[in-house]
Structure 1
Amino acid sequence: MDKQPVVAFVGATATGKTALAIALAKVLGGEIINADSMQFYRGMDIGTAKATVDERQGIAHHLLDIYDLQVDASVATFQTLARTTIDEIRSRSQAPILTGGSGLYVRAALDTLEFPPTDRALRQGLTAQVEQEGIGPLVDELRRVDPASAQRLQDDRRIIRAIEVHRLTGRTFSSFMPKRQYHPDIPPVVQIGLSIDRPHLHERIEQRVYNMVEGGWLEEVENLQAHGLELAPTASRAIGYRQMLEHLSGTISLQEAIDSTIVSTRRFARRQETWFKADPRVHWIDPQSDHALADIIRLVESS
């Protein structure tokens, strides 16, 4: 029997991936797999735009709310979970529908992707070095051994990881980046990219942030703060949650937190667009078109 195609909705935040994925699942008979790394966390609902139970309209959703805040999300673990879930959904003759804006997670599910080794002791030593000397010496080392990563990486944590990989393997961190080639067990695949013109997308992002605040986001963050959000290795870095924590600490006003969240989300959206538009396998559509869903169905049926 032919396998049901995996449909992956990709693109920038606030383009309507979740709503179209649910609409498609209702038409095709599908189940949705979350590929948004921050929607893995229980309690992080409003600020991650996680679909509510009502919004899911009875469609099965997988890999939502699978972690406590203290868990450090792993792309390698997600790859295993996502591929197992794809197989299970196909075994029920349903269509697996992957949706989310975390580009590396989408590619981990779909593409041939090799994961470099880790060494906890080495990473702890590098982290201690940064705490004592700053990130400068590691940046200098990275420029010598992996100029491409040195130019691309800005975050201290990822720079540490790049040095760890090189010291362990002798290979550059960038050499482990995936090729745009589907894993043999995954096809057929249809990737649907949602694209909205930049000014309109900026408006949607701004409105969504205000809607989140009006919907109780600050209260959500207060509750998560009581459960250790500030010390969470991955969850604490989520856009907007950091700003709301700063507001709760008295560092910035609520309006400053909102404004910073809007700016950070717009920047993130640009990075998402750059990531996904570099992939020639993505079929781009306007989600605001009256025939968007019909266009998607035709693409899936012709795969």
Structure 2
Amino acid sequence: MVDSSKLPIVAVVGLTASGKSGFSLQLAEALGERGITCEIISADAFQLYRGMDIGTAKVSLEERGGIPHHLLDVLELEEKASVATYQRSCRQVINEIRARKALPILVGGSGLYVRAALDEIEFPGTDSAVRERITAQAAQLGEEKMHQRLAEVDPESAARIFPSNVRRVIRALEVYELTGKKFSATMPRREYFQPTLQLGISWPLAVLDERISERTAQMLAHGFIEEVAQLEKQGLPDTPTACRATGYQAVMDYLAGKITQEETAEQISLQTRQLARKQRKWFRKDPRIHWLDGEAGRFANLDRALTLLGIK
């Protein structure tokens, strides 16, 4: 029997509608047949919210097949999602899963959340008073002088941040003032905090676009509009982050009579395709990801995943 403590964390990452959730369940089942208990952790910024199920493609209780899932339904709509908070929660869950002699499988397409979970990355705190003071200075002195100030204390960050990106300049100066550390020192390194195997499922973009259109139609057929109508009653339009989830504004526009249902489907599909391309750009930068060919089929990809884990 394979000792799960000897196995790396498994992360199934990549583009929306690529089949990450389904593959993670198949992989967990295959590992379970080999005596390795698995638990799944979501790395999706919007699946954190209770009630946002259909539009975020959240795996239902029935679909989970008894496999424990974590970091789903942990926030109320009015709460603000925070990648720093997610990192703390995720690391705690990973330790708890390991303590149960099980294998953590991280699944998601929110790039920064994935990196926060897996990599050595710091999230310095903030101070509203310091931020407001530096912001006021920026308004008075202008972007060039503020960028010059940053170059004096943190030349590496200044080289990376354009003067016109005032928000990032202010943040870098805030971090330096609060911590005494250069903002560049807090930048993520492609260095795992624990041994990890990252798997991605790759599709030709034309095929992925078809999958997105099909999934959009299924969401609308299975109650996405009704879900959003209920969430509107709970204050979704005024939430700090939940309302930004792909597709939800389009449905709210439909409910307000601004667009037709056909236009709603078109908008959701378009926004999802745009998201997929952003994710593709993000994840393609990480050379550590082992890409599986979506068109190769389930069994071929499971076999490769098990081989990469050193399991036959």
Is TM > 0.5 for Structure 1 vs Structure 2? yes
Secondary structure of 1:182's counterpart equals coil
Q: How does 1:29-48 map to 2 (within 5 A)?
A: 29-48=37-56
Query: Percent identity of the aligned residues?
Result: 44
Structure 2 residue 190 is matched with structure 1 residue 190? no
1:239 aligns with 2:249: no
Structure 2 Cα separation of the partners of residues 163 and 43 of structure 1: 36
Instruction: Indicate the structure (1 or 2) with the bigger Cα radius of gyration.
Output: 2
- Deviation for aligned residue 1:139: 7.4
Partner secondary structure for residue 296 of structure 2: coil
Contact 1:32 1:60 in 2 (8 A): yes
Deviation at 1:114, TM superposition (A): 1.2
CA distance in 2, matches of 1:126, 1:251: 41
Which residue number corresponds to residue 258 of structure 1?
A: 265
User: Structure 1 residue aligned with 2:255, among 224, 248, 258?
Assistant: 248
Alignment of 1:123-138 (within 5 A): none
Secondary structure, aligned partner of 1:295: helix
Which SS does the other structure have where 1:40 is aligned? coil
What is the CA distance between 1:165 and its match in structure 2? 3.8
Measured after TM superposition, the shift of residue 286 of structure 1 is: 1.1
Query: Does residue 302 of structure 2 align to residue 293 of structure 1?
Result: yes
Answer whether contact 2:161 2:168 (CA < 8 A) is retained: no
Return the letter of the residue paired with 2:190.
R
What's the RMSD between the two structures over aligned residues?
2.8
Q: Per the alignment, do residues 208 and 81 of structure 1 end up closer, same or farther by CA in structure 2, a change over 3 Å counting?
A: same
Give the CA deviation at 1:247: 2.0
**Would you say 1:91 and 2:94 are equivalent positions?**
no
After TM superposition, the structure 1 stretch with the greater mean CA deviation from structure 2, 286-295 or 218-227, is 286-295
1:156 corresponding residue in structure 2? none
Question: Residue 236 of structure 2 aligns to which amino acid in structure 1?
Answer: L
Q: Which stretch of the first structure deviates more once superposed, 258-267 or 64-73?
A: 258-267
User: Closer, same or farther in 2 for the Cα pair 1:220/1:268, shift >3 Å?
Assistant: same
| 1:26-82 Cα distance to aligned partner (Å, 9 max, x none) | 122211000001000000000000001111111110110000011111111111111
Post-superposition Cα deviations, 1:158-206, rounded to whole Å, max 9, x if no partner, equal x6465234344268866633110112xx22x110011000100000011
Report the 3-state secondary structure (helix = DSSP H, G, I; strand = E; otherwise coil) of the residue aligned with 1:37: coil
* Separation of aligned partners in 2, 1:138 and 1:218: 46
Q: Which of the numbers 169, 177, 194 marks the counterpart of 2:187?
A: 177
CA distance in 2, matches of 1:152, 1:61: 42
Question: What TM-score, normalized to structure 1?
Answer: 0.85
Could you say if the C-alpha distance between residues 162 and 31 of structure 1 is closer, same or farther in structure 2, counting changes exceeding 3 Å? farther
Q: Quote the Cα distance in structure 2 between the aligned partners of 1:141 and 1:68.
A: 41
Give the counterpart of 2:124 among 102, 111, 116: 116
Distance in 2, matches of 1:210 and 1:147, equals 45
Going from structure 1 to structure 2, the CA distance change for 1:257 and 1:91 (only over 3 Å counts) comes to: same
Amino acid at match of 1:92: R
Cα pair distance change 1:247/1:140, threshold 3 Å: farther
> 63-72 or 119-128, which moves further after superposition?
119-128
What letter is aligned with 1:239?
T
The 1-side partners of 2:42 and 2:212 are apart by 20
Q: Is the 8 A contact 1:17 1:194 kept in 2?
A: yes
The residue identity in structure 2 corresponding to 1:43 is G
State the distance in 2 between where 1:102 and 1:33 align: 13
TM-score normalized with structure 2 length: 0.83
Q: Distance in 1 between matches of 2:164 and 2:10?
A: 30
The 8 Å contact of residues 210 and 258 in structure 1, kept in 2 or not, is answered as: yes
**Is residue 143–residue 164 contact of structure 2 (8 Å, CA) maintained in 1?**
no
Give the secondary structure class of the aligned counterpart of 1:107: helix
- Cα distance in 2, alignment partners of residues 138 and 237 from structure 1: 31
Does residue 19 in structure 1 map to residue 29 in structure 2? no
Relative distance call for 1:165 and 1:283 in structure 2 (3 A) is same
Matched pairs, number: 289
Q: Is the 8 A contact 1:79 1:105 kept in 2?
A: yes
Structure 1 letter corresponding to 2:230:
N
State how 1:133-172 maps to structure 2 within 5 Å: 146=158, 148-150=160-162, 160=167, 163-169=170-176
Structure 1 unaligned blocks of 5 or more: 154-158
Deviation readout 1:91-139 (Å, 9 max, x if unpaired): 122110000000111111111001132123455789999xxx9xxx987
Measured after TM superposition, the shift of residue 279 of structure 1 is 0.8
